[in-house]
Amino acid sequence: MPRIYLITALYFALSFNICAQNPKQQLNLDPAARVSAAPESVFKMFREAGMRPSNHALTAVEKAKVEKAFAALPPLHQKILKGHLHSISFMDNMPNTALTSPVVTPDSTEMYNITFRAGIFHETISEWATQKELTCFDRSENPGYEIKIEAGGLDAFLYVLLHEATHVVDAVLEITPHPNDREALVKPTPFTQNVWYKMNVPTSNSTDSLLEKTRFRSGKTVALALAPEIYRNLGKTPFASLYGMASWFEDIAELASIYHLTEIMDQPFYIIVKKDNEEIYRFEPMRNKLVKKRLRHLKVFYRV
């Protein structure tokens, strides 16, 4: 299966030249109302990967969920989306959760489409996040182990929108560097300094050999029995999640999303590892001192 199955928006981070529809129409002032079919280039990408994606028409209930989620975004996210969100799209039979794509414009204005898998309307954040986390582990030989993310009962769409909208804000404001070449050595921003060496290579003091074997670093799963050690080691890094280690683009999106969910919306976010129904380890990123030190970089999202 192609690389897209690993991600919610890594395609955005790896390709800045996607050719989407040309936005000639006057944009609706309300970003939540900018619903249209996904760019043909996105459909084509999934078809070439052997998928059969189709456009999803929103129900009245789903439209209400979209409006509620947009209203819950940080103030800066809402401001940036008004000027830089071309459209949002929903697909059935989409292999990943969401995809943020640049849209070519006549006047070179930075505009973006976000395409979502429509199935997330039927999942809570806890359900969706748990299933995503489980894809990091091989469960075939460790039947006594379980992993669960407790992130409350809000709609998964809210979290995914927050994550993807952060990609748009990051692209517009360049909170992280945006090099054309993923291997480029570029001047760090305050957010990436001393944490990232390259776009998808953490500094040596921000990871270890075991974390480098995990799925979003290596593309491979690891034994579920290693989960306590993995989360213990993750707690010694400045990353809020395993997915945040995929690239500095995912790092900022994960940190911003988990922070907003927990500190602004007063929801939980922690990972529980169980063995034979007994909790043996708990990872709570917002209690990590190294993560807390980076929260100052998120203040910009709340100053408008």
* Domain extent at residue 71: 3-122
Instruction: Look at the chain and report how many structural domains it folds into.
Output: 2
Last residue of a domain, one of 69, 97, 122: 122
> Do strands 137-138 and 222-223 pair parallel, antiparallel, or not at all (unpaired)?
parallel
Q: In the 8-state DSSP scheme, what is residue 266?
A: -
Q: What are phi and psi of 212, to 5 degrees?
A: -70, -15
| Residue 266, Ramachandran bin (φ over 0: left; ψ between -120 and 50: alpha; else beta) | left
- 137: which residues sit within 8 A by CB, 6+ positions away? 147, 221, 222, 223, 224, 226, 227
User: Could you give the CA distance from residue 275 to residue 144 in angstroms, rounded to a whole number?
Assistant: 5
Query: Is 249 strand, coil or helix?
Result: helix
The reported pLDDT for the residue numbered 304 is 77
Residue 115 neighbours by CB distance under 10 Å: 30
Closest among 143, 81, 145, 140 to 113, alpha carbons compared: 81
Q: Are residues 281 and 233 part of one domain?
A: yes
Q: Are residues 71 and 100 part of one domain?
A: yes
Q: Are residues 150 and 25 part of one domain?
A: no
Q: Are residues 137 and 275 part of one domain?
A: yes
With b for 16 or more beta-carbon neighbours within 10 A and e for fewer, the 167-190 pattern comes to bbbbbbeebbbeeeeeeeeeebbe
pLDDT by residue for the chain (304 residues), tens only, comes to 333 333 444 344 334 334 344 444 446 689 999 999 999 989 999 999 888 999 999 999 999 999 999 999 999 999 999 999 999 999 999 989 999 999 988 888 899 999 999 999 999 999 999 999 999 999 888 889 999 999 999 999 999 999 999 999 999 999 999 988 888 899 999 999 999 999 999 999 999 999 999 999 999 999 999 999 999 999 999 999 999 999 999 999 999 999 999 999 999 999 999 999 999 999 999 999 999 999 999 999 998 7
Q: Are residues 104 and 129 part of one domain?
A: no
Q: Which tokens belong to 189?
A: 């921003």
User: Could you give the CA distance from residue 12 to residue 17 in angstroms, rounded to a whole number?
Assistant: 9
**Strand residues in the chain grouped as ranges (E):** 54-55, 85-92, 98-103, 111-117, 137-138, 145-150, 196-198, 201-202, 222-223, 270-275, 278-283
- CA neighbours closer than 13 Å in the CB half-sphere of residue 304: 10
The reported pLDDT for the residue numbered 27 is 65
Overall pTM > 0.95 = no
Q: Are residues 55 and 197 part of one domain?
A: no
Tokens 């209400």 -> residue: 64
